């Protein structure tokens, strides 16, 4: 069996900076990525969407976020939008994403985040060029796709083709795992590029954002019932390298089963010190966190 390169290489989990390092610097910005590398971290998570002119860009929300984005006049957006997929990559450059809107409740979640005025939406191409300077840096590229609101995103065939084109031209030696909550994207990727490592994101807690349930559009037609209601078995059967569950969903039993099946288990988004300790104690392979230094000091 080929060793899964995303399994933790030592007793310590790999620390993935979430959206760069959202707790420290503006999310999904080159400034955050630079900081992460300068601190010596070896794994980063980013979110990718497609612009109207087919350029993969690094941005989390399907609608430009009023909690972050300022227009060319320097004013924070009054409401979410426009939709990322309706703007060209050049048009996206008009927005400044370097400072949290202090009036927005989101800003209270990241009180330590330093502002970087004039931070722009990075392109995936630029990010890959940057990452190639450290070939040991693991890249978790999350495709943002909204299986319950497909009109907000890009159809899988177009998204995956654009992603693969950029990765072919700009990808270096870095280990890359492409992840998504929308498993339709991962199945398209498996079809078009069977060599690509896949990360299956899941949110199984009951609630409005849950992605794992019978008939879920996020699961690309997969049914837990066919796998004795064992999510690790279902995901391993898809040919995945990584399973990325919400940390509150993870049980010791599921972790052991997933790792026995060869999966790396990378939990998100673990910021609370007690939760970090619990995940380290469980023996996860990766911790995706907004606060990489916090995780480093506790693992």
Q: Which stretch binds Mg ion (CB under 5 A): 75-83, 134-142, 147-155, 248-256?
A: 134-142
Q: Which is nearer to Mg ion, 47 or 96 (CB)?
A: 47
Interface with Mg ion in residues 36-55 (CB under 5 A): 47
Nearest distance in Å: CB 30, Mg ion? 17
Cβ-based nearer residue to Mg ion, 31 or 47: 47
- The phi and psi torsions of 261 (rounded to 5 degrees) equal -85, 0
Q: Which is nearer to Mg ion, 58 or 219 (CB)?
A: 58
Quote the least distance from Cβ 6 to Mg ion, whole Å. 16
Q: What phi and psi values does residue 192 have, to the nearest 5 degrees? A: -85, -25
Q: Which run of H or of E encompasses 298?
A: helix 292-298
Q: How far apart are CA 207 and CA 178, in angstroms?
A: 26
Q: Do the Cβ atoms of 200 and 232 come closer than 8 Å?
A: no
Tell me whether residue 22 or residue 294 sits nearer to Mg ion (CB atom): 22
Smallest separation (angstroms) from Mg ion to the CB of 168: 23
Q: What is the three-class DSSP state of 244?
A: strand
Nearer to Mg ion, 149 or 297 (CB): 149
**Six-digit token string for 164:** 């693969």
Binding mask 192-231 for Mg ion (x = CB under 5 A): ----------------------------------------
Token representation of residue 277: 């300790």
Q: Outline where 201-286 has alpha helix (H).
A: 231-237, 252-260, 273-282
Binding to Mg ion by residue 31, rule CB under 5 A? no
Nearer to Mg ion, 72 or 201 (CB): 201
Q: How far is the CB of 223 from Mg ion (least distance, A)?
A: 25
CA dihedral sign, ordered 202, 206, 208, 212: positive
Nearest distance, CB of residue 3 and Mg ion, angstroms: 26
Closer to Mg ion at the Cβ: 51 or 269? 269
Compute how many residues bind Mg ion; rule: CB under 5 A. Answer: 2
Angstrom distance (rounded) from CA 137 to CA 25: 19
User: Nearest distance from residue 293's CB to Mg ion, in Å?
Assistant: 19
Q: Which of residues 137-196 bind Mg ion (CB under 5 A)?
A: 142
How many Cβ atoms are within 10 Å of 115's Cβ, its own excluded? Answer: 13
Closest to Mg ion by CB, 249 or 277: 249
Q: In angstroms, what is the minimal distance from the CB of 134 to Mg ion?
A: 21
CA distances from 172 to 125, 133, 252, 279 (A): 11, 9, 35, 31
Which residue has the CB atom at the shortest distance from Mg ion? Answer: 142
- Helix (H, G, I), strand (E, B), or coil: what is residue 285? coil
- The dihedral over CA atoms of 65, 84, 212, 199, expressed in degrees to the nearest 10, equals -110
List residues near Mg ion by CB under 5 A.
47, 142
């Amino acid at each position: 069996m080929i060793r899964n390169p995303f399994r933790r290489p030592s007793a310590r989990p790999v620390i993935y900076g979430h959206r760069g390092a959202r707790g420290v610097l503006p999310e999904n910005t080159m400034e955050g990525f630079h900081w992460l590398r300068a601190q010596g971290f070896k794994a980063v998570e980013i979110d990718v969407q497609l612009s109207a002119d087919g350029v993969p860009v690094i941005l989390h929300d399907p609608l430009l976020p009023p909690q972050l984005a300022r227009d060319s006049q320097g004013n924070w957006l009054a409401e979410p939008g426009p939709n990322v997929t309706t703007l060209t990559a050049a048009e996206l450059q008009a927005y400044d994403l370097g400072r949290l809107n202090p009036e927005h409740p989101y800003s209270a979640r990241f009180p330590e985040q330093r502002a970087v005025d004039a931070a722009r939406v990075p392109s995936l191409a630029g990010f890959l060029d940057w990452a190639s300077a450290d070939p040991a840096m693991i890249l978790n590229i999350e495709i943002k796709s909204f299986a319950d609101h497909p009109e907000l995103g890009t159809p899988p065939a177009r998204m995956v083709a654009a992603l693969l084109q950029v990765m072919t031209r700009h990808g270096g030696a870095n280990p890359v795992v492409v992840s998504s909550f929308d498993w339709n994207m991962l199945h398209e990727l498996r079809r078009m590029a069977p060599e690509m490592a896949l990360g299956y994101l899941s949110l199984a807690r009951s609630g409005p954002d849950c992605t794992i349930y019978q008939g879920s559009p996020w699961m690309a037609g997969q049914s837990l019932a066919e796998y004795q209601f064992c999510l690790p078995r279902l995901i391993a059967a898809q040919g995945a390298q990584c399973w990325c569950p919400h940390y509150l969903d993870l049980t010791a039993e599921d972790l052991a089963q997933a790792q026995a099946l060869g999966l790396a288990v990378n939990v998100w988004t673990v910021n609370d010190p007690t939760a970090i300790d619990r995940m380290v104690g469980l023996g996860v392979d990766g911790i995706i966190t907004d606060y990489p230094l916090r995780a480093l000091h506790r693992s």
